[in-house]
Amino acid sequence: MMKKRIVPVLVFMGISLMGSLLAEAAEIDTGRAFFEEKRCSMCHTIEGKGGKIGPDLSGIGSQRDEAWLMKFFENPKKVANANMMPVKGTPEELSALAAYLLSQK
């Protein structure tokens, strides 16, 4: 009797997890597109591709969290004394950009 109750719960959990992973992947793809649209690779390198003016962002996901990135996008000079303009975008675009950068580990 217990097995009959557990199986549907496990199936539901698997479907929920899969949906969550798909949503996260979509947000990362949106962030990647935003990174390309804003031409961030003119200055920044990811996975060996891009410019050398700004820091290599290949491992940024292991070094920063979403809150730090969001503050940095708003005011790079204040957060990291970086000589760059704030990143302009909607909250959703900036969140997707953060998700993309956090996937770089």
3-state secondary structure labels for all residues of 22-66: HHHHHHHHHHHHHHHHCCHHHCCEECCEECCCCCCCCCHHHCCCH
Residue 59 is part of which domain span?
2-102
CATH code: domain of residue 31: 1.10.760.10
**Each residue's pLDDT tens digit, 48-88:** 999 999 999 999 999 999 999 999 999 999 999 998 889 99
Q: For the chain, what is the domain count?
A: 1
* Residue 1 pLDDT greater than 70, yes or no: no
